[in-house]
Amino acid sequence: MLHGFFDDSGKESESANRIVCIGGYVSGSAQVWNGLAELWKNFLLKHDLEWLHMKDFMCEDSSEYAYLGWDWPKKRAVLEDFSSAIKISQIIGFGVAVDADGWRQLPPEFVKKHGTCQEFCFTLILQMVVERMKRSTPDERISILFDCDRGFTPARFQRYLRFRDNVPDADRFLCGFTVGEPKVFLPLQAADLLAWEVRKDVMRRISGFESRPEFQHLMMVLPGFFPDYTLRFLGADDLKFMLDEMDKTPRL
């Protein structure tokens, strides 16, 4: 069985937020996940961290990490350590980002039918994973684990059930949806890092800037290592087109 660990970054409810993103990793090997967890624990110990939570870690006035007194070069080195753990593990990444400003401009009937921007991202992630499995591992099944967010979990579970009921073959591939504590399920911290980096990269790109060195480090090809990512960004025009098309399909 494959296992996928996913997390989100950016909230539609925050009017100043431009991008909503969900990202995470998939692998079918318990040895791979155990190896990632061991590397992750070693880096947490090395840097005297209880856990890595990107939103607070990247905030200059975060009380949770203020005791460290780290400058940006130090934080960058720490992030590169955790990115290296991901790369060594060679887990498969998925990420979807949606233009929240474009979503807010959609007709209310579309939003009512297809859910919030977060729910839409969740549906697309499921779609991307299932389509990949159809091509590469048609005989496998996958269990999905998300961060235990009280605000998002109930709606995600309902979307998960609708997706299984309405998308052909989805119930054959998706065999479990659970939530977990990221301080215990360490791959959730890797998913959080990816979701944050993808969201930040999209924001930089649409503003005309290059990718951050940290994002480049995560995606960099190395001897014997080829990053495997399926990343998707939907701008305002993409949303209008896709939602028009989705109106022709069963409600998810």
Residue with tokens 């949606």: 98
pLDDT attached to residue 241 = 80
As averages over each run of 10 residues, the pLDDT of the chain (252 residues) reads 96 87 96 96 97 93 85 94 94 96 86 87 96 95 94 94 94 96 98 97 93 90 80 89 62 48
Question: What backbone phi and psi angles, to 5 degrees, belong to 92?
Answer: -100, 125
For residues 226 and 245, give the distance between their C-alpha atoms in angstroms, rounded to a whole number.
34
Domains and CATH numbers, the chain: 2-246 (3.30.420.10)
pLDDT attached to residue 252 = 47
For residues 173 and 166, give the distance between their C-alpha atoms in angstroms, rounded to a whole number.
13
